[in-house]
A and B are shown apart, each in its own frame.
Chain A
Amino acid sequence: QKEVEQNSGPLSVPEGAIASLNCTYSDRGSQSFFWYRQYSGKSPELIMSIYSNGDKEDGRFTAQLNKASQYVSLLIRDSQPSDSATYLCAVGEYGNKLVFGAGTILRVKS
C-alpha cells in the first residue's frame, strides 16, 4: 500500500514568516508530486506540481523534491492570513491516480 505522510499540524506561523510544509512518500518509483490547498468546505486547488529533484518556484511558493530521501516540501514565503488552509501533498501513481496525504493545517496569525 503506497503511503503519503504529512504532519497533521496545525502549523502556526506569524504573518510575513515562511511556512514550511513537509511530506514523505513510500513508493521510491514515484515520478510526479503535487501540492494542493483546500479551504474548509471547498475542494482542493492545485498550487504546484514538481517532477525533478531540486526546487521549483512560483511566486511566493517553492516546492522542493528529493527523490533519494523520498521527501517533498512546500515553502510559503511572506505568509498571509489568506494562506490559512489545509495543504495536501499528493503523489502520482500508476494509472494516473493520486495518493493523498492526510493534509497539514496551516494557520497564519496576523
Chain B
Amino acid sequence: GAVVSQHPSRVICKSGTSVKIECRSLDFQATTMFWYRQFPKQSLMLMATSNEGSKATYEQGVEKDKFLINHASLTLSTLTVTSAHPEDSSFYICSARDRPSGATDTQYFGPGTRLTVL
C-alpha cells in the first residue's frame, strides 16, 4: 500500500517554457501533498504544502507565481513550473500523507521528476 506516482519521470525543456508535473496517490486518499526540490548532493527542500480544495502554502523564498500548485482531488496534485530557466533544473519530488483519521503522519514519496532546462 501507500504508493505515490509521478509523471513525467524526466523532462527536458527549453528556457521560457512551462512544465507540469503530476503527483498521484494510487491506493489511498491524500488530504495533504508536499512538493520538494533536491539539488545534487543536497537534502530535500520543502517548496510547498498542498491541501485538497484549498490554496497551497509556500515555504519562505519559494515564488508562488512561478511554481503553481493545484490539488484538485484527494489523489492528484500538480506542480507547474512556469517560464522555466536553467536554474530551475532540479529533482522535484512529491509526497502524500494519509487521511488523518487513525493514521500516522507518515509521508510517502513519489519517484521524482528530473527537470532539465536548456
Q: Name A's B-contacting residues (CB within 8 A).
A: 32, 34, 36, 41-46, 49, 51, 88, 92, 95-98, 100-103
B96-118 interface with A by 8 A CB criterion:
97, 104-112, 114
- A97 near B34 with CB under 8 A, answer yes
Residue of A nearest to B44 (CB): A100
Q: CB of B54 within 8 A of chain A?
A: no
Shortest CB–CB separation between residue B74 and chain A, in angstroms? Answer: 15
Residue numbers in B under 8 Å from A102 (CB-CB): 42-43
* B side interface size, CB within 8 A: 21
Q: Considering the chains assembled together, what is the distance between the CA atoms of A98 and B57 in angstroms?
A: 14
Q: A43-B111, A97-B34 are in contact. Are A103 and B43 (CB under 8 A)?
A: yes
- B43 near A32 with CB under 8 A, answer no
- A97 near B43 with CB under 8 A, answer no
- B43 near A96 with CB under 8 A, answer no
Residue of A nearest to B45 (CB): A100
